[in-house]
Amino acid sequence: MRIVLGVSAGIAAYKAVLLARLLTEDGHQVDIIPTPASLEFVGRATWEAISGRPVTTSVFEGVDEVRHVRLGQEADLIVVAPATADLLARIRAGMANDLLTSTLLASEAPKLLVPAMHTEMWRNPAAEENVSVLRERGIEVMEPASGRLTGKDSGPGRLPEPEQIKARIDQLLEPRRPAYADAPRAGTFYAPDHAGQPPLLGRKVVVTAGGTREPLDPVRYLGNRSSGKQGLALARAARAAGAEVTLIAGVMDQAPGPELRGVEVVPVETAAELQGAVRIETEKAHVLIMAAAVADFRPADYAAAKIKKTDDDAAPTITLVRNPDILAETVQRRAQTGTGPAVIVGFAAETGDENTEPLQLAQQKLARKGCDLLVLNRVGENLVFGQEDTEIHILASETAQSALDQDQPVHFAGGKQEAAGVVVRSATALLSSLPPST
Ligand code: C5P
């Protein structure tokens, strides 16, 4: 990947030398753009030696190749470390009075700014406002570390260690679709049915899995304990049945591994992202399996800067708003437009209460959501979340019951992978019972 590493005039510029080394050792092409004043701290020769690339600081050098435009256009990511208070102010104002600020202004590449300054400067309202405005514009500003600063003072304002910055860069450079999404399909995944054909061959199945995270501020979120295991098992089971599978992957305990070869993975984090991915991916899908634990609520407001403790011991009040019900919405869209998945499977995690049995609650949910099948998981302490084993009941809507000729919920207790197989078999049976046009 091509990374532009901007360096502004802070004593922490020496740490950027280590960062540049980590990046080049990883095989990235790193173009370093120091501000002219930063050369007082680390000289041009060091930067050229470490990056193996020519280094300039002004738009009047290398004019023939229009460097300030070219470097930014070719970059996959622009990182500025350290970013001084002065540089943040200049970026916020849209100034372009040296090669670094011109490159930042002329580029649409994602940008990561890593501030380093004295605590008083970091807390100065002018600097705070600059950081909030930059974040609102979609530029990522990392939180500085806390600790010993240049002089005898210490507090927030230290440049995070090069390894920490590198870890964030690695995350930002991760492809939206992991490489294994494009891997060749493995024929051995197919489990032929009695006619010798994988039962879902030529059918598209969309599985949602994992939990969602609803951000409160750049460092905090509301989340849930979904491990994503059941969803991964469902994607594997659908793949094994020969389907073309798209996994919309929320936050999971473990990343989808290479055993999901041939499965297209769409990573999402918030309920809104999941909603968008479901809309797009289900347009041409035959089956939707909504195993994701979607947050029902999200913070009404996102604070662009980290919410701070105040001196008066007061705690902030967080107002929540409802998230859309993605499952119900997909059912409604199908009813209104006649398009979308012919089979829609929902999940319900129920503990039951003193008055109502989990099965009864699931029955009510099936009716409320309008999906075709509803998989009931009994939850409680040490039940289901993150565990290998599960117990499920698969309830069918009235229409599905008659199509499947089934009047009782299907019950299964055992491993999550086998449970996934049972769910996929029920969905397949329902799909095959429908007229061929669907
Ligand atoms: O209402 P409840 O959260 O129990 O419903 C669970 C089912 O609804 C799951 O299939 C889940 O993926 C889906 N769901 C959704 N959108 C929400 C909440 C849940 O699609 N906002």
pLDDT tens sequence across 351-404: 878 888 899 999 999 999 999 999 999 876 555 555 678 899 999 999 999 999
Name the E strands within 329-404: 343-350, 373-378, 389-396
Quick one: DSSP state of residue 181?
A: G
The rounded Å distance from CA 291 to ligand 1 centre is 8
**Range from 126-135, 174-183, 212-221, 300-309 carrying the lowest mean pLDDT:** 174-183
The whole-chain average pLDDT of the chain stands at 88
- Tell me the per-residue pLDDT of 206-258, one tens digit each, with 9 for 90 and over: 999 999 999 999 999 999 988 999 999 999 999 888 899 999 999 998 877 66
Give whole-number Cα distances, 141 to 88, 214, 304, 405, in Å: 10, 19, 10, 58
User: Are residues 171 and 190 part of one domain?
Assistant: no
Q: What angle do CA 204, 207, 211 make, to 5 degrees?
A: 160
pLDDT more than 70, % of the chain:
92
Residue where one domain finishes, among candidates 176, 193, 221: 176
pLDDT of residue 135: 86
* 229 & 376 share domain: yes
Which of 347, 351, 395 should be mutated for ligand 1, with most atoms under 8 A from CB?
347
pLDDT of res. 191: 40
Instruction: Pick the atom of ligand 1 nearest to 346's CA.
Output: 10
Residue 4 pLDDT grade (very low, low, confident, very high; cuts 50, 70, 90) = very high
Ligand 1: residue whose CA is nearest its atom 16: 325
Please say if the pLDDT value at position 199 is more than 60. Answer: yes
> Could you tell me if residue 172 is inside a domain?
yes
pLDDT confidence of residue 138: 78
Q: Are residues 96 and 139 in the same domain?
A: yes
pLDDT band at residue 189, thresholds of 50, 70 and 90? very low
pLDDT reading at 19 higher than 90: yes
Q: Count of alpha carbons within 13 Å of 151, Cβ hemisphere only?
A: 5
Asked whether residue 141 carries a pLDDT value surpassing 70, the answer given is yes
Q: What is the pLDDT of residue 344?
A: 98
The crossing angle, in degrees rounded to 10, of helices 358-369 and 326-337 is 40
Residue type, 314: A
Q: Are residues 271 and 149 in the same domain?
A: no
DSSP character for 279? H
| Residues 250 and 286 grouped into a single domain | yes
288 in helix, strand or coil?
strand
Q: Give 238 Cα–ligand 1 centroid separation in angstroms.
A: 21
Cα–Cα nearest to 401, from 376, 378, 377, 367: 367
Q: Is the CB of 373 under 6 A from ligand 1?
A: no
Is 230 found in the same domain as 134? no
Instruction: Assess whether 355 and 412 both reside in one domain.
Output: yes
**Does 192 lie in the same domain as 151?**
no
Q: Of 176, 209, 240, which closes a domain?
A: 176
CATH number for 146: 3.40.50.1950
| Whether 198 and 92 share a structural domain | no
| Better pLDDT: 312 or 49 | 49
For range 76-105, the mean pLDDT: 96
pLDDT at 184 over 60: no
**Per-residue model confidence as pLDDT tens digits over 59-85:** 888 787 777 788 988 999 999 999 999
Q: Is 224 a catalytic residue?
A: yes
Task: Check if 294 has its Cβ closer than 6 Å to any atom of ligand 1.
Answer: yes
Q: Are residues 170 and 186 in the same domain?
A: no
User: Residue 180 pLDDT > 60, yes or no?
Assistant: no
Examine the domain organization and report whether 385 and 329 are in the same domain: yes
User: Reduced to 3 DSSP states, what percent helix, strand and coil does the chain have, rounded to the nearest 5?
Assistant: 40, 25, 40
Between residues 311 and 368, the one the model is more confident about: 368
Q: Which of 290, 329, 379 to mutate to test the pocket of ligand 1 (most atoms within 8 A of CB)?
A: 290
Counted domains in the chain: 2
What's the pLDDT score for residue 24?
A: 96
Q: Is the CB of 326 under 6 A from ligand 1?
A: yes
Under a CB-based contact definition with an 8 Å cutoff, are residues 263 and 300 in contact?
no
Among residues 176, 199, 217, the one where a domain terminates is: 176
Beta carbon of 371 within 6 Å of any ligand 1 atom: no
Ordered DSSP codes for 46-72 = HHHHHHSS----STTSSGGGTHHHHHH
Mean per-residue pLDDT, 315-331: 95
Q: In what helix (H) or strand (E) does residue 15 lie, and over which residues does it extend?
A: helix 13-25
Q: How many angstroms is it from 293 CA to the middle of ligand 1?
A: 7
**Which residue, among 86, 127, 164, 89, has the nearest Cα to 305 in the 3D structure?**
127
Q: Is residue 137 part of a domain?
A: yes
How confident is the model over 46-60, as a mean pLDDT?
94
Q: Shortest CA distance to 290 belongs to which of 399, 393, 204, 207?
A: 207
CATH number of residue 372's parent domain: 3.40.50.10300
Same domain for 136 and 84: yes
Catalytic residue among 130, 224, 323, 377: 224
pLDDT at residue number 66: 78
Minimal-distance CA residue to ligand 1 atom 19: 294
Which ligand 1 atom is at minimum distance from the Cα of 208? Answer: 12
Q: Is 297 a domain residue?
A: yes
Please give the C-alpha separations between residue 29 and each of 12, 25, 50, in angstroms, as whole numbers: 22, 10, 11
326 C-alpha to center of ligand 1: Å? 7
Cα dihedral 254, 351, 400, 231, rounded to 10, equals 0
Quick one: pLDDT band at residue 196, thresholds 50, 70, 90? low
Is residue 438 one of the residues assigned to a domain?
no
pLDDT at 273: 93
pLDDT at position 183 over 50: no
What pLDDT shows up at residue 156?
85
Lowest-confidence pick of 258-267, 272-281, 422-431? 258-267
Instruction: Give the structural domain span for 14.
Output: 2-176
